[in-house]
Structure 1
């Protein structure tokens, strides 16, 4: 054991303020229950009626601890080691009515990490109704643990919830079962639990309170003596006799205390001490005993690690959480972030209850990659008392600073969010904040698909800030990934804990399960702290089904509106109606439609020069013919114009290509070329009658400037109607982001307008719609819907089919041609 030489090194540690207690919590905070086969409770429900005692063949018993906090009743249970985990927990009134039931064992849902390690049952009855809180206060509430399957109850045990003041000081517990070689008939259905506290300041003392039943004969009705014993292995260290004034068949309470030797205190801390209680008149046949373990309450101890600005220029922060196992081991997990390359000189557990801040345990040897994880298997008795009373802290020292960051370990009940495997460190995003700003968050999703969170903050400066807690959900970390922002809560202060009533949507659950999330603390929409949440466990019953695509695409049920319109392709997300060139093949272009990417590969037109003269430009699909006007490399480096742009894609001088139109892909019936003289795209229609059209004249049109066309009827207020003169001049329209109209320079297309192009050989080409967006014109082919196809079939039948009026091929409309309407006919009698 060491002592810090300078008592001023360890400064006062910031304690996260806890919420004030309401009246119910002040008067009804700590309760306990002994669950055995001797409960007076009689269940009214036939299918859950208390099973006959003989069905509890292994004589299973349990004990519970209950803490009332912020209108929530937290429960903790330990049960016989012979028993598997119970199926469910019920809260029942004295008339046998089930008031609330909790599933403890669900198919496909693993038990929480803490519960699995400690073999405890942990949870909380959230927002306990006031009428039931009154029953609890009046000690008229029972608890029942149920074993068996969903359709078959194997056996149950129950007990009355009673208030005991000694629970506030409990450090150790014991589940006391019939001792070996006792009379099975006399001890049938009996059991006990011990509540144990310590005082180590002067003379090491132990205080024992025992709740029990089953140790009295028929004629023992008043002032009955019982013996209380303590054993270290087989050595007896205490034997005292106390009187029970009025013995009860259901519950009895006795207490005693004694001074222990130092070696016995060490044995107690290391799980080698056992407690027993027996009948004074028949001690061999009527005796209960149990091993003393750390207290039955489900509890962890967490700390936020930070310091003041002058001692922490790099903004080093961290977190820690500790808990005790049933074997008496102290498990610890410490994260230190942004420590740079410096190795900590010491990570120590310190006693804050003493003026000299005594160092109790050195945790440094297990520090690696920013983490110190380990177990203290020989815990000193002087650690346990301040540990359970919340008087310990963690200190991180370096060669330059004897106390770089530090924090106080605060007890927290394990339930919901804090049943997660580990908390997440919230790191500073806004560097105008003090370097001491830090936070931690616990997150879980329960079987009802509700998210639970618990957030603690420190070092923000003011406790009256109005903050927002949000969760950004992405399917994966990729450019352009769609984000769902979930606002969890607005709060004031340094702590928020909640379990929203509404469940998450299927898409949100899917992203929590397989994607990435970012939890953020905001003030006035500015991010203060944030953390990454990756692949949070989601119960099987809450997970959405997936397709076999390379990225999980959710298949929503009828309750969801529709899936996201974004497409995922080659490691990047694209929005609905976006088009792009494949990163692997410059000849392949894709577009996003209804959440699915559709791609097409272009077959290049034949260039107008011999193959040995053709030039292939890196990043372009089709080769180009060299021309006298082609720029040199030095001119290219000077950023002089040397390419044509079509739909945002660059084409070198002299290169030929087919235009890419949505939704059909590359239009092989149109051939475009980048004019080497004026850097304009000029296109001609292929007059092949069999593959393209019957009445196409081979005429050029310039798509780089504009198609000569009139506007469509407006979809937006800023679009011009046909034959309506613009209210702005042509220069004003162009300066506002409009597009040039080569056919009529005095009527440019306004920014945001949509129109059909005009082709000399076809007139208005209604199969393509163009849009002007900030001076750039983009065009795409219209979709072939049922109405368009039926119009084509009718025109073809009447031999009045006109290419300009028909946007669809027979292949496109094949799915509509043979579809028949199905009518329901009534059977004839």
Structure 2
């Protein structure tokens, strides 16, 4: 029946072409367009009524648009379209043009878009092509011819670069009444922009245009830059190819190219311009009547021998204009079909060609088996962008092949691009035969193993971009013991609904024609939060077939959190026949790369209900109500610390290990999660050096009254999700030690008048001891030098001293001081040094070390420090020798050992001036 309908359409086209060819012959002499010519083609027509099959039924009728009679079971044919007509009878492919003129209410916007829609199994797949530079709309609205909104869908981008400037999606479970509107061409579609974008809504009527079901190439026609009109025009071209003659069937849908005075018998010109300075081809068509909203034109043409090659690579542009108004021309590039469809397949052992070979195909090879998947997208230039993943076997060769009745042909050998289980690349010079084979599902991916002799194959099939295909790549389900494999596309939308599509490949077990299988989601959580139960969720039960599209489920926030954390497995279990009782291992794959919106996660701000104990719960477990039976095991403190890195508070909120937060029960407490345990500390306030300090409302610590903005809510600092008034000072709360008293933070007003937070650590003095002598005392902010070991007691020959035990540190100290000794400090150190009466030493300066030019002396309990006395020099030029305290005469020193002291002393900011300043300050301090 489908073939007869196609033949009938060919008869109608032939009649139209004969009429149009006569009209062009009269007008071609008046045209001044390059390479004017008539369409040259041979026309063959025949009556297909004589080829109608003989029917045995008595109630045969002719359906609308058909040439031959069809048997109807009980319902008359005239009532069939009003009920639920079969999709293969009424057509499943539609197109739409959207611009200001086609909208329900005419718009002055210059934007133009076009779309292709396909109805498959109650699901409407749509793809829209936007003009270059157009902003993406916020939503896609489907409406009735009265303007009532039937459905609003969110416009979401696809993860594939080849689908830029295109919008894709699906409308699942379209109601029966809406399907009727679509088939009766009474459904409109609108692209609605964001409110703040400054753009207008554009809409158009969805219709079943000629050639849309066999379309290979498309073009979006927009006004030329020179066009200047209030309601700008636009158009789209639907181009099919005759496989026998390589001629092009062009179906144009357009508006806005005619002048105000044109209404009847207007000549339209259509020009196809190849790249590389090739001559354009111009066809002219006479329109007897012009429509104000949309015009449709169909004609056949050819570009010659190079036409299909240039069309395939996106090197042909189209221009449409009226001879009476050439300034209103429309133009655009011809690309591959307006669609976001991707081409995907499962790579597995080849399936049997007939039922007799089914059993032998399943057992022809021995395990282990390899598996994989392949993904191909089409760019606007016609390139094949491929991504292939294979595991479980060593790949010796990897090719793209086409199937023909005469044999196979290698399209491209991509073995060199395969590395580490992956092959990524672009087949940049495809022919039209390659493109046609890809669109018709005739290109196969073939991977050959070098060691086991296994061959993995998969035919690339066109897959519409569903909600599940928003994920960048599928999940491979395989088992080394089974020659079958499966891929699952899975994604989570903004409403926290999980979508999944399934494709199964390979020879079914037990010689079955189609496999039966179950699909489950199994959680294996060893890191996320092992206190929570592991769920095994059944997604599908006893599915027959190799495809499952546009299915969805609602998972709990716990399961969504694990899904996004990569701790969830998909398992597909094959169901065998009743005769075969042997068990098969499941096809398993780890789910990775699924992006879950933050609001859908268990750790989001929306808390789960508090857990309560149910009668059916075991004593060591409590379950959360209204949350898909999420149960928590009651662990000991020791078990919780060992098994879990996360913490759970009394309100059933889960916190990451190392996180901190303000206690909801007491705002003057800070809590932290440390290795599965929650610790809380009261806020520690700084001691203020002011009088009349006040505590602002909602604050925990007082502030000085000089800070005038303490009560303004817009003058607040936010630090670790806690708000502080201007002037407030606090210790930061750091995990795992709690409040850090060595750091102070302050909320103050910046130069711009905005509140800002500054934190500073307590400055520590420089230490003169070696790093090996540093020690950090508990609770101290700065390191200190270890105290020096007590000096040994001088032992004399007196027998009484020898027989006495050694003095303690306190006794030794008292003995030194009682005999006129001294106590002194160096370099602002906290350590005290002892010196015997009469002992001399050189002091230590932090930036110099031991300073030899000053000598200190302990005399009767007093310390005096004096600089070295230098001799008086009578020479005219004096120099300062390095490491010496007193200057010398220049004549007595090697010139390489000195520098002029006067010039060094006058050099502001130099190192030696700093030394001189420090030296003088040290002398003044010790002399005082």
TM-score by length of 1: 0.59
Q: Which residue of 1 aligns with 2:487?
A: 440
Whether the 8 Å CA contact 2:219–2:238 is kept in 1: the answer is yes
Q: How does 1:16-95 map to 2 (within 5 A)?
A: 23-24=86-87, 26-39=89-102, 41-42=104-105, 52-53=107-108, 56=109, 59-95=110-146
Q: Summarize deviations over 1:158-192 as a string: whole Å, max 9, x none.
A: 1000002411211221110012323x127x33100
Q: Which residue of 2 aligns with 1:460?
A: 508
CA distance in 2, matches of 1:538, 1:584: 28
Query: For the structure 1 residues 270 and 523, does the alpha-carbon distance in structure 2 shift closer, same or farther, using more than 3 Å as the test?
Result: closer
Aligned match for 2:343, one of 301, 306, 312: 301
Question: How far does residue 24 in structure 1 lie from its aligned partner after superposition?
Answer: 3.6
Q: 1:561 to 1:485 in 2, by over 3 A?
A: farther
Change (3 A) 1:247 1:305: same
Shift of 1:545: 3.3
Within-5 A mapping of 1:120-131: 120-131=166-177
State the Cα deviation string for residues 5-58 of structure 1 (Å, max 9, x = none). xxxxxxxxxxxxxxxx9714542400000001002514xxxxxxx7x41xx3xx
User: Is the Cα contact below 8 Å between 1:230 and 1:236 reproduced in 2?
Assistant: no
Which residue matches 1:319?
373
2:162 touches 2:377 (CA, 8 Å); kept in 1? no
State yes or no: 1:365 paired with 2:384: no
1:196 maps onto 2:220 in alignment: no
Output aligned runs, 1:534-545, within 5 Å.
Answer: 534-545=592-603
Given that residues 374 and 387 in structure 2 are in contact (C-alpha distance below 8 angstroms), is that contact kept between their aligned partners in structure 1? yes
User: Is the CA contact 1:520–1:528 (under 8 Å) kept in the aligned structure 2?
Assistant: yes
2:587 pairs with 1:556 = no
Say whether residues 1:330 and 2:388 are aligned partners.
no
Q: Give SS of 2:199's match.
A: strand
Q: Distance in 2 between matches of 1:558 and 1:134?
A: 49
Partner of residue 158, structure 2: 112
Q: How does 1:717-796 map to 2 (within 5 A)?
A: none
Give the SS at the match of 1:162.
coil
For residues 123 and 204 of structure 1, the distance between their equivalents in structure 2, rounded to whole angstroms, comes to 32
Q: Structure 1 residue 576 and structure 2 residue 627: aligned?
A: no
CA distance in 2, matches of 1:250, 1:591: 65
Aligned partners of 1:508, 1:210: CA distance in 2, in Å? 50
Are 1:337 and 1:370, in contact at CA under 8 Å, matched by a contact in 2?
A: yes
> Contact 2:611–2:623 at 8 Å: present in 1 too?
no
Separation in structure 1 between the aligned mates of residue 252 and residue 647 of structure 2, nearest angstrom: 73
Shift of 1:535: 4.5
SS at match of 1:32: strand
TM-aligned CA deviation for residue 281 of structure 1? 2.2
**In the alignment, structure 1 residue 139 sits paired with structure 2 residue 190:** no
Q: Indicate how the Cα distance of structure 1 residues 487 and 585 shifts in structure 2: closer, same or farther if over 3 A, else same.
A: closer
Indicate yes or no: 2:211 matched with 1:166. yes
Q: Tell me, what secondary structure is at the counterpart of 1:37?
A: coil
> Could you tell me which residue of structure 2 aligns to residue 210 of structure 1?
252
Matched, 1:274 2:274: no
- Correspondence for 2:229: 185
What's the counterpart of residue 221 of structure 1?
Answer: 263
Q: Which runs of 5+ in 1 are unaligned?
A: 1-20, 43-49, 106-110, 548-553, 568-573, 601-829
Question: Looking at both structures, which has the greater relative contact order when contacts are Cα pairs under 8 Å and sequence separation is at least 6?
Answer: 1
Alpha-carbon shift at residue 378 of structure 1 (Å)? 1.9
> Is the 8 Å Cα contact of residues 353 and 386 (structure 1) preserved in structure 2?
no
Which residue is equivalent to 2:201?
Answer: 156
Look up the match of 2:710.
Answer: none
Take 1:504 and 1:147, find their aligned partners in 2: how far apart are those partners? 32
1:476 to 1:147, Cα distance in 2 relative to 1, 3 A: farther
Question: Greater shift after overlay, 461-470 or 447-456?
Answer: 461-470
Q: In structure 2, what is the Cα distance between the partners aligned to 1:561 and 1:125?
A: 43
Name the structure 2 match of 1:528: 586
Quick one: distance in 2 between partners of 1:585 and 1:293? 60
**2:221 is aligned with 1:176:** yes
SS of the residue 1:449 aligns to: coil
| Whole-angstrom distance in 1 between the partners of 2:165 and 2:647 | 54
Equivalence for 2:925: none
Distance 1:226 1:92 in 2: 32
Tell me if the contact between 1:578 and 1:591 (Cα under 8 Å) persists in the aligned partners: no
Q: 2-side partners of 1:164 and 1:560: how far apart?
A: 61
Over aligned residue pairs, what C-alpha RMSD do you find? 3.7
Secondary structure class of the residue paired with 2:289: coil
Instruction: Provide, for residues 233-277 of structure 1, a one-character-per-residue CA deviation record: whole Å limited to 9, x for no partner.
Output: 354331111233432122111122333344443322221111111
Which whole-Å CA distance do the structure 2 matches of 1:592 and 1:34 have between them? 55
For residue 196 of structure 1, report the CA deviation from its aligned partner: 1.6
In structure 2, distance between residues paired with 1:502 and 1:530: 20
Count of residue correspondences:
538
Q: Deviations over 1:680-723 (max 9, x none)?
A: xxxxxxxxxxxxxxxxxxxxxxxxxxxxxxxxxxxxxxxxxxxx
The correspondence of residues 386-465 of structure 1 with structure 2, limited to 5 A, is 386-399=437-450, 404-428=455-479, 431=481, 435-458=482-505, 459-461=507-509, 462-463=512-513
2:400 paired with 1:352: no
1:229 Cα shift?
0.9
Matches within 5 A, 1:480-491: 482-491=533-542
Quote the Cα distance in structure 2 between the aligned partners of 1:268 and 1:412. Answer: 23
CA distance change for structure 1 residues 527 and 129 in 2, over 3 Å: closer, same or farther?
farther
> How big is the shift at 1:500?
5.3
1:113 is paired with a residue whose SS is coil
Equivalence for 2:841 = none
C-alpha separation in 2, matches of 1:138 and 1:575: 56
SS state at 2:293 partner: coil
Structure 1 residues 115 and 484, CA gap change in structure 2 (3 angstroms): farther
Unaligned runs of 5+ in 2: 1-83, 350-360, 576-582, 625-630, 655-674, 679-928
Task: Determine the C-alpha separation between the residues in 1 that align with 2:537 and 2:433.
Answer: 46
Question: By how many angstroms is 1:557 displaced?
Answer: 5.8
- 1:224 match: secondary structure: strand
Aligned to 2:627: none
The answer to whether the 8 A contact 1:115-1:122 is kept is no
Distance 1:255 1:599, change over 3 A: closer
